[in-house]
Amino acid sequence: MHAVRNIRLCTKDCLCLYVCPTGATDTESGQIDATKCISGCRACVDACPSHAIFLIPDEYPLQQKKTNDVEKALLTLSESKTRQEQLALTIIKTSDDPIVRQLAQALSMSNRLLAEDVLREAGYMLPQSQNVKDFLQSLLDTPQPEDFPIEIVEKLLNIL
């Protein structure tokens, strides 16, 4: 477990700087240096008056496997939602009526959120899950267009 700071909650009282035995809380980025943080110490968590610091796990547990039926039912929905998003995006691109574009924008945002939610529940909640790694690997294993950012996928596979 290491400490992370929610910058939106941080009120810059800086008590965390004074209690940390390793200086991990004192960084220019506002985030706590995970490499210096002592696992489970939590001195800063308890000191912070704004409840801005939390401990999070270094490794996340394996995700529960979804049954095939469930996954399929959810993917039927994700397909529908993403096609609706695509229609809305096409309307935004092709219409010259600002009100039509505004409505289409709202519909595209909503459908993106709906698609994300069902995909998350279809077994892609945790970025570290095997499903996600398989997905990334499949991008490398199949032919991709020339402009495909292979380096990003490789990097992700490396650091996740």
Residues numbered 57-116 forming contacts with other proteins, rule: CB under 8 A: 60, 66-91, 93-94, 97-107, 109-116
Nearer to ligand SF4, 28 or 147 (CB): 28
In Å, how far from its chain's centre is CA 20? 28
Q: Does 15 bind ligand SF4 (CB under 6 A)?
A: yes
CA distance 38 to 41: 6
Q: SS3 of 49, please?
A: coil
- 19 contacts which partner out of ligand SF4, other proteins, none, CB within 5 to 8 A by kind? ligand SF4
Within 10 angstroms of residue 17's Cβ, the number of other Cβ atoms is 13
Taking each helix axis as running N to C, give the angle between helix 98-119 and helix 68-94, from 0 to 180 degrees, rounded to the nearest 10: 160
Nearer to ligand SF4, 25 or 111 (CB): 25
State in angstroms the smallest separation of the CB of 18 from other proteins.
22
Residue 45 tokens, joined: 């968590």
Nearer to other proteins, 36 or 66 (CB): 66
Nearer to ligand SF4, 40 or 145 (CB): 40
Q: Does 50 bind ligand SF4 (CB under 6 A)?
A: yes
- Evaluate whether 53 touches 62 at the Cβ level (below 8 Å): no
